[in-house]
Structure formats: structure tokens, C-alpha cells
Amino acid sequence: MKKTFAALMIITMIMCFMPMAAFAGTEYEARIGEISYVTLDAAVEAAADGDTIVLLKDCSTEGFNLTKRITIVGDQHKISFNKKGIALWGSSLTFENCKVEMNGIGSTPYSEWSWMAICASKNATLTLNNTDMTMDGADAGNAHAIYFCSNNKLNLNSSNLTIKNYPQDALEWDGGDGGYNVNILNSTFISDHNRSGFTGTFYATIANSKVNVINSTGNGSNGSHFIITDDSKVNFNDNAAHGLSTGILTIDNSTVNAIGNGANGIHATGKMVIKNNSKISVRNNECSISSQWTIPGALYVGGANSSIDETCEVEITDNKGSGILVKANASLYMETGTIIRNTAEKLEMGGGINNSGKVTLTDEVQLYNNHAATAGDDIYNAEGASITFGPTGSDWKLDGTPDCTHDITGWFDDSEGNRWNAHGEEPLHMEEFSVKEQTTVTGLKELKAAHGYYTVIYSDGVDGEIVFSDQVNGDLPYGQLTPEFKGVPTREGYVFKGWSPEVSERVTGNAYYTAIWEKAPVVPETGDAAPMAPLMGLFMLAVAALAGKVLLKKGLIKK
């Protein structure tokens, strides 16, 4: 009996020590509470709804297929997805203090969702807190990166999310009730060389963040609503089609660039509000798409009550479509901005502004040196539309391509078949449309900021008499404007010293020149005795001096 008991004790002791011996060299990847797991996948499988998984080291996973809420806290450890991505079934997944890497992942663990790296059913949420996540779709097949089906949320808090090289979209919403929201707070989001950055009808809220959507093979965005606030820096640049294509757009105290896109720069079909010291640059966009959905305009305004306030800096320059296009039933109140060097290549009307709705421009808006092949280099106001604007600026000049480089003096008719023409082939056409203060025009009107004839006046510079006055179109070869003086005037008793101001070869506005004269020196009359008079005087003085010396020497006179 004693031997049996002793044997049982030995067996028990061996069994007690076996786990320690068996797992003494094991490295655990994750922990839930006090329980450690050899792999992250084992921890995910074991987790209950609402559990937090803590990473113990860098690890890898074959993919998540989640029907429960979990949080993964990484302590800056890295998670590498090496086979599949993430499927969220009405659940939420939070990465906190992690580094997440997906390279070449184009399918979730769910077989029906085999054409996206991350997919979610209704009411699911993906959140990144202080996390760096990179998704590279090279070698992922024809896949989307993140594809949400309805009422989903993607939250970035103090995080970085980079999505690149996906043949399909970086972020896409499809179907459902349109409740897919992207919230980017104190974070950076980069979409580089995907088909699109944002696709679908959802709200993207960007606050104190950086967003770069670049090199898309399609639109940078397509139909989303954007609220950009709190000194955010947002770039939609170098995309093959539209840059920032949006429904409702609010830009508040932020910088937004839409540069070098293949179609429109900013294409807003809903209400657009730009305010509170925001800086907007819409430059070098090709504006190449013309269809039933798209009209070429660098800044496309499709919503009512759109506005740009006076605190902002707005640059709309060097685009190949109308600088601003306002659709029928849309309206824009613009208090500041520069709209120059835009060319309505496809529309051929309204290089600066092409308006079919209602536009109001304050006197702070600069609108000139735009071009259109058919009509309205700077303004095309369609039938049924209205536009309110003020006089041209005192410092506006034509830029010489293809116009002259003279000062702009006002608004001129630039209608189809009767374009403004001050220097080209006859007949010249410089019919001014007088605007002395804010003026509202309703109906068809095609205008160009340009110049007419200049009045040039020459006065004689003595009694104010006008000796020459004419109207010219700016070119003034010296001398041709003074036929009565033949270029250099003469006046009896005077010497001509020049013009004030100096006459140039060209005037850039109305000019008034005054002749400067100097009285000619008095020349004595010539005669036979006249030249001898000075000599005779000198001779008499010399004789008197000599006689005085002789008389003094003989003592006949005293000093």
C-alpha cells in the first residue's frame, strides 16, 4: 500500500511539473487578461465579445473573420497579414498603439468577400488609435482595399493610414442607407495610385489632419460629402479624372489643393462653403471630361447657396476648362479670389466664368486674362442666368497671350461672331459695357476685361492750347502723333526741351503730354561799327592809363 501511494505521489509530481518543462521555451504573441496565447490568431479565436487582446511581440495572422467586438493593443508591435484580410460581421475592431501591415492582400477570410482586403456588413466599425497601418495592393489582384456595405465607420485617431497600388478603390461604400462615415482626426490618410481614394455617398470628416489623394487612375473621390476643418491640409492632386469630386463640401480654416488632375479640380454637386481663412488652389487641371454628368470647369459649383468668404485665399489659374462653372439652379456668392489664365477648351465659352445659375462677385475678385475660342473670354452668362460684378481693377493688365500687354480699362463685348479686337485684322471691335459700380446682368452676356481706344492729347506747354488730340488703340510710334510738329515742335523765341512725361512708343491708357520750352538766348544785331565798339573802349582806357603815368612821372599830378 505504501509503495502504491509513493508511486502515485511521484506520478502526480511529474504531471505537475510537465507543463513547465514542456512550455519553458515557448514565446507567446498575445494575452487576454492573465491568459497568454502562442499566436495572435489563437487569441482572436478565444476572445469573447468586448475583450482586449494585448500583443507581446511582433506577430503575423492569416486573417480575421469577426462576429464580435475586440480591441488589439500593440505597444507598437507589428501585425503582418500574410494570407487574408479582415471580415467584420456587424462587429467592431480597434487597433491601438499598433503597426499593421497588409502587402498583397486582396481577399477576406469569407469566400464571398474575395475581392477586397477589408469588408464589413451593416453597423461594423474599424478604428485606428495611435496606429500606423499600411495596405499595399501590388500583387493583390483586381481588388478593393476597404469596402464597406452600409452604415459603417472608419475612424482614424492620431493615426496614419496609407493605401496604395490597389486596382480598385482605397475606400468604397456600396448599397445600404448611405451611413458610411470616415472620421479622420489628428491623423494622416494617404491614397496613392489606387483607382480612387474615396468612392460612394458618405461623409468624410477631416479635422486637424493631412489627407493626400494622389495618382489615382480614376477620380480622386467620387460623390462623397467632405467636411474639412481645424487647419487640415488636403491634397487631391495628379489624379487621372476629377480631383475632389464631392456632394456637400465645407472647408473651414483649412488648406485644400486640387492640382494637375485630368478632369475638374473641385467638382461639388451640393452646397459648397469655403470660409474662415481657408486657402484653396485649383491649378493646372485638364478639365477633359464632358458628359451628361460632367461639364468641364476647374471649380464646378452645382449646389445652391454656395459661398467663398472674404477671409479666404482662392486661386483658380491655368486650367484648361472654365475657371468656375456654375450649373443651372446653383448659386455662388464669391467675396474674394483670383481667376486668371483659364481656357475653356471644350466649352469654348466662358474661360473665366461660365454661368448658367446665379453668381455674385464682389470687387475683390480678380477676373481677367482668361480665354475661350467662341465667346466670353472672361464671362459667359447664359440665357436665364444672372451675374453681379463690379468694374475692372485699376492694376489689371492683359498678358500678351494672345492679347496685347496694355492696361485693362473696362469690360467689353466679346460675343460670338463679334469678339473684342483692338489690334488684329480689321474690323476692330471695342464696344465697352459700362460698369461703374456693382451691376447685375440677366440673360445672355459675353464679356472680356480689356481696353478700348485711348485719348492722347498734346499741349503747347505755354498757354495750354491743345495742339493735337486723337484716339489710338495703344500703339504709338514716336512722332506719328504730332503731325503738326512733325515729331519735334518749334516755337519762335523758344528751344524745345522735350515732353512731360516722356513720350513712349506705346500708351497703356489715356495720355496727356505737355511740351517743355526754354527761352532762346538774345543774339545782338549785326552791323559795320558794332564789332569795333568794344575794341575802341579798350583803346581809350589804355591811352588814359599811359597819359596818367607820364604826368605822374613829371610831377605834374600827385597820387
Structural domain spans, the chain: 280-452, 454-519
**7 pLDDT band (50/70/90 cuts)?**
very low
Mean pLDDT, residues 131-148 taken together: 96
Helices (H), 24-77: 40-46
**In this structure, are residues 416 and 375 in contact, taking their beta carbons and an 8 Å threshold?**
yes
* Residue 14 confidence (pLDDT): 42
Regarding predicted confidence, which is higher, 499 or 219? Answer: 219
Mean pLDDT, residues 222-249 taken together: 96
Cα-Cα end-to-end distance for the chain: 177
**In this structure, are residues 514 and 496 in contact, taking their beta carbons and an 8 Å threshold?**
no
pLDDT in tens, 340-380: 999 999 999 999 999 999 999 999 999 999 999 999 999 99
**Which letter does DSSP use for residue 531 in this model?**
G
**549 pLDDT band (50/70/90 cuts)?**
low
| Closest C-alpha among 211, 182, 213 to residue 196 | 213
Distance CA 486, CA 458 (A): 13
Chain center to CA of 441:
28
464 pLDDT higher than 50: yes
* Residue 5 confidence (pLDDT): 46
* Residue 168 confidence (pLDDT): 97
Helices (H), 258-317: none
Strands of 174-321, DSSP E:
181-185, 188-192, 198-199, 203-207, 210-214, 221-222, 224-229, 233-237, 244-252, 255-259, 266-268, 272-275, 279-283, 297-301, 306-308, 313-317
Distance CA 285, CA 299 (A): 10
**In this structure, are residues 236 and 260 in contact, taking their beta carbons and an 8 Å threshold?**
no
| Closest C-alpha among 404, 394, 406, 319 to residue 354 | 319
Least confident of 6-15, 43-52, 162-171, 284-293: 6-15
**In this structure, are residues 507 and 471 in contact, taking their beta carbons and an 8 Å threshold?**
no
Place of cell 516722356: 502
Query: Residue 386 CB: number of other CB atoms within 10 A?
Result: 17
2 pLDDT higher than 70: no
The CATH class that applies to domain 454-519 reads alpha beta
* Residue 506 confidence (pLDDT): 73
Among residues of the chain, what percentage have pLDDT more than 70?
86
Place of cell 519735334: 488
Torsion of Cα atoms, 467 then 470 then 475 then 476, to 10°: -10
Rg, Å, the chain Cα set: 42
472 pLDDT higher than 70: yes
* Residue 70 confidence (pLDDT): 98
| Closest C-alpha among 295, 299, 274, 304 to residue 285 | 299
Place of cell 482626426: 185
pLDDT in tens, 72-93: 999 999 999 999 999 999 999 9
Distance CA 245, CA 326 (A): 15
Distance CA 473, CA 407 (A): 11
pLDDT in tens, 215-230: 999 999 998 899 999 9
| Closest C-alpha among 240, 161, 166 to residue 206 | 161
pLDDT in tens, 411-457: 999 999 999 999 878 889 999 999 999 999 999 999 999 999 888 88
16 pLDDT higher than 50: no
Whole-prediction pTM: 0.85
Chain center to CA of 548:
100
485 pLDDT higher than 80: no
Phi, psi for residue 189 in degrees, rounded to 5: -125, 130
**Which letter does DSSP use for residue 343 in this model?**
B
278 pLDDT higher than 60: yes
Mean pLDDT, residues 497-514 taken together: 81
Among residues of the chain, what percentage have pLDDT more than 90?
70
Place of cell 483607382: 195
Distance CA 542, CA 473 (A): 72
Least confident of 392-396, 420-424, 537-541: 537-541
